[in-house]
Structure 1
């Protein structure tokens, strides 16, 4: 007898159930459809189609746009794709807590309008653009169907990290139920393993696993999704929900290719009366003692001082920052917050020195800069504070006053403030 944890709520789900009923009961396809519809809470299959069709009319359309600019292949190409995704709630409501709730697959996007997601920078090829489109579109449908959000609670993030490497996993993402706080991992390796794989590991860690009949998020149609969680109830609920997403909801086939310089203006953008902003362009030239570098279409340029710091000053401050970034919390008071700020300074200064002295960075010199050989950290918070002060003084002498220098010094001072707080406790 066919039993259900959660009755299907879509026509595709009812059809899948009907196939199981037909096999078990040896009845006609039409009879199986009616029986499946009744199990789903409808009078018959015709009633189910009419009811579900009415419900779909009340959906909300979201738009997803990706540009690509292929400069490296022999057949260069560029263009824009925009697809529609139909949701139960407006996109702006679904993402009311920010793009971050969409986890890894929405982080490169911005909410261009209340109903329009747009990739911030260009994809490197048409195939890459299609993968970004699929990941974003399928993620919106996943959020829409399940109510899950990207894992962000400290306890959930730590619980997943404490598992270590999940055997035979690939393209792992973390999710959580904002209502219950229960967490779930979505593992999407390319190859489907034999039934019962990693069974002992799952039992050892008190976890459950299912492989839903669902395309997944990372590379729909190519990767194989698995749901892993300590909550069997959450897994069963999510499995039923993702399997209930109708096939018709997914954008299918190759979207219409539009010109690279074209703009998609969504209905919500038009209704707002506000002009659609052009995509960010890289900067060039000089400004108040600073020069622009880097950046791309959709990505802002960065700035550095016009006048570079002498190489000997870089080889002075480089090993100090390297040692600071290898100092521990216990011995030297370098917490994660302090490390993050100092490491950003270290990384940025390494970028600058290669641009300031392009012909002078030999392997020997590079070893004396910001990422040299392994090194022990400082041993006391007092030594750490002195080292941070030394870095500050060198940068004050090495660079002329400008906004990039001021931003660098602000990070250094902020790290020192955090460290002093810890020392004074």
Structure 2
């Protein structure tokens, strides 16, 4: 059992922190019509009554609105961070004040504290898990397998976490059902493209006080996140180079008008490098050795393994903080390579980072909320393993959003539905 304490016991001025956290949450709530609409139903129906929800997420204002929604829907909630640098302590403290929520999330923890906080969440014996990166799920399977029989299911938020869980599922090691929230259209088409693209570029610009116009931006990977980063960078008048290992994505990037080349070639050309692959060693020693003086190195993938900082440290003759959130590695020939946010998620881990836009996360967290509701109400319908979120739930969130925006849309007539769902209409 972990003796790690909730955030409220760790802060010197918890009252002031809570006040600041509530102010941030109030602002986010004003711009989250999906969660606000769901809140009315959750309060009335109590779909999570009797459940204990364990969460490992980026604990900031938008996430807090989801956490409160789950608690107001009847759950007891324990939460911690899913990244050592993405927690806002004031928001964590504000959450911890809620009678049905305990928050262990704290910014700047080391590895030992990070997992002690996850263990503290697990000590609550969750019946539902909500994860961003799957660290909570893995910890339960590896260290607390005795709890698995009491867990009805879980939800996974991000691309990297879903990849890990699918690998776990293929090996027959995932012992309860988990919804791949990341893979729904309402998450993938908006959060990964618009959310990652806009927030990564915004936080790099704010951290460095540099412009995008005229710069050469190298995007590592052309999945949904890489596509978003490339699109948004091009929209701010940058020249974009894409690197890929998957031939169809490389062809897609080429057909979209981007230069496509191996990273070994792109390393000589780029002013800014942004990795989005979810894989390790995307940028390594061979690339550092040919980069220009002053380049920016940023990562928009979940873990800090895409830019090999161990190799960069070995090459450097000096390192220092050039600005808040920017660490400069000076090489023996005088070139300076600048790493943002310690190689972690640049849109969440830099000192001034605020994460994805509020409206985008309203959609993603709406999916999380209805997926958690589905787990609580219909867990018996799902075997252990990774599952797609039912399409009707994804559509539910889209319809709430359209209604909030005052956007009307067509529906199929009975004749059209019959035509689309039959096989015997020929020429």
Q: TM-score, normalised by structure 2?
A: 0.22
- Higher alpha-carbon Rg: 1
Q: Which has the higher contact order (CA 8 A, sep 6+)?
A: 2
Q: TM-score, normalised by structure 1?
A: 0.22
